[in-house]
Every structure is written in C-alpha cells, then in structure tokens.
Structure 1
Amino acid sequence: MTAWILLSVAVGAEVAGTLSLRLAAAGARRWYLAVVVGYLVAFAALSSSLAEGMPLGVAYGIWAAAGVALTAIGSRVFFQEPLTQVMGIGIALIMIGVLLVEIGASH
C-alpha cells in the first residue's frame, strides 16, 4: 500500500512540475523553482516506491502514463490547450496499455 501512495505522490509531483514548466517557459521565471521541486519530489517518491517493492515496469509504466494523461488534462484546464477526441483516444489506449502491463506483472 505504501508503494502505491508513494507512486501517487510521484505522479502528482511530476505533473505539477511539468505544468509549472509551462508557466516558467512563458516568462514567469519564478516558476522554475516549482519545476525543480516537483521533479525532485517525483524522482524521490518514485525511487521510494521501488524501494517498497513495486516492480520497475509497473511503477514506470503507471508514472509515465498517468503523467501524460494528467498533464494533457491539466494543460486543457489551466492553459486552454487543445484536448481533442484523438488525444482522448490516445489517453484511453495508454490506460489500457498500463493495465495490461500491470496484469502481466501479476502472472
């Protein structure tokens, strides 16, 4: 259970760092601090989830897939960037792929 909580923290911190990067790149340089903190927390939490026994393939797959999906949604909500039907299908396919990796790891 702890590994899953740590992985959730890693995903949230990575998404926050990436969304902050968008703000920093747009000229709000103070957001670079949030980028650095977000990525440091993300990697520390991901590492800790691995130390708790989560398999690397599962942890990285979920971390990357959830990061892509949540960042796309966050960029739509916060920056009014496009989130098209094709992108939604892509997010669904990512989720299916991660589910298959998770199921495969349990066998």
Structure 2
Amino acid sequence: MLGYLFLAVAIATEVVATTFLKFTSGDNPKWWAFVIVVVGYVASFFALSLALGRGVPLGIAYAIWSAVGVAAIAIISWVFFKESLTWVQIAGLVLVIGGVGLLELGAKHPA
C-alpha cells in the first residue's frame, strides 16, 4: 500500500512540473518556473522509484503514472489556461483511464 502512496506523490509532482512548463516558454519565460519544473521532475522520478521498490509492478506504475498525469494536465490546461478540450478528447481520456484500470484489474497481486 505504501508503494501506491509513493506513486500518488510521483503523479502529483509530475503534474506540478508539467503544469509549470507553461511558464518557461513564450516571450517572457519565468526563471522560477524552471526551478519548479526541475525539482518537480526529480521528485517525481524519485517517488516513482520508491513506488517500484515497495512492490508496485513497473508496467502498472508507469501506466497509472502516465495516464493520470495526461488526464490531469488536460484538465488543468482547460481550466487554468483556457485550452480546448473537445468531447472527442474527453472520450480519449476516459478510454486511457479505463485501459489503465483494466491493466490494474487484470494484474496478479500477491495475497
């Protein structure tokens, strides 16, 4: 169970880092955003490695990490940056999350 807590931390820090990438681009990049991005990605990979070390299978961990991250970034981009999110894209996100759910459901867990 501790492995999944580390996985949640990995997801959260990756989502923060990816969100702040928005502030590192354009005509007026913010220096502090680069710091958040680097620290966030380092923390994310560190937490992901801890999740793997606590028994979360690599395929499951990466699938959950990437799918939840993609969905969260799409929603954050829509809410905070007013980027488009069509019904087709929403359906794709639902399918991605559903696919990860099926991977987890089909995994063999020790008793």
* RMSD after superposition: 1.1
* Alpha-carbon distance, 1:106 to partner: 2.3
CA distance in 1, matches of 2:90, 2:31: 31
SS in 2 for 1:6: helix
Name the counterpart of 1:33: 35
CA distance in 2, matches of 1:89, 1:29: 36
SS in 2 for 1:4: helix
Name the counterpart of 1:74: 76
Unpaired runs of at least 5, structure 2: none
* Alpha-carbon distance, 1:77 to partner: 1.4
Name the counterpart of 2:18: 18
Name the counterpart of 1:102: 104
Unpaired runs of at least 5, structure 1: none
Matched to 1:16, the amino acid is: V
CA distance in 2, matches of 1:5, 1:41: 14
* Alpha-carbon distance, 1:37 to partner: 0.6
CA distance in 2, matches of 1:29, 1:75: 21
Q: TM-score, structure 1 length as denominator?
A: 0.95
Please tell me whether Structure 1 or Structure 2 has the larger radius of gyration of its CA atoms.
2
Name the counterpart of 2:64: 62
CA distance in 1, matches of 2:24, 2:32: 7
Q: TM-score, structure 2 length as denominator?
A: 0.92
Q: Deviations over 1:4-52 (max 9, x none)?
A: 1100000010010000011111322320000001100100000000000
SS in 1 for 2:84: coil
Name the counterpart of 1:83: 85
SS in 2 for 1:82: coil
Large movers: runs of 4+ above 3 Å: none
